[in-house]
Each structure stands twice: as structure tokens, then as C-alpha cells.
Amino acid sequence: MGRPWNGTFVNNSGTLVEDLLANYLLEIGARNHKMRVYEMTTHPTALEMFEAERTLLPMRKQSK
């Protein structure tokens, strides 16, 4: 099922700072997408999954 991981999955520009910046920008984009889904969802199981990683998400406003 699928392909095993190997070195072709590693992106290397030859400049450490450039590689770190590219990785940082990818991580920020992934976090933003995760937060959008978190803010839009109302499904209890999905919320539990997101809230398991509390350090990455803002506190959800409690509805009255």
C-alpha cells in the first residue's frame, strides 16, 4: 500500500536558512487550514480530535 519513504521526499535547496524558512511557511499554512476547519465544525468527535492538540488551537468560545 503506497510507497515506502525514501530520500526523494526531502527538499534541499543547499541553503539552510532557505530550507528552514520554506518549512516554516508550510507549517504555518497547515496550522491555518486546521484552525479554519476547527472554527467551522460542530461535530463532537471532530472537536475532540482537534482539542487533543490544544497547544495549536485557540480556546473555543462557549455558547450560552
40-64 residue pLDDT tens: 889 888 888 877 776 555 555 555 4
In a domain, 22, yes or no: yes
Query: Model-level pTM greater than 0.85?
Result: no
The answer to whether 56 and 49 have CB atoms below 8 angstroms apart is no
In a domain, 63, yes or no: no
Total domain count, the chain: 1
Query: Rounded distance, CA 37 to CA 40, Å?
Result: 5
pLDDT in tens, 1-49: 788 888 777 778 889 899 889 889 888 888 888 888 888 889 888 888 8
Residue range of the domain that includes 33: 15-40
In a domain, 30, yes or no: yes
In a domain, 57, yes or no: no
In a domain, 26, yes or no: yes
In a domain, 20, yes or no: yes
In a domain, 10, yes or no: no
In a domain, 28, yes or no: yes
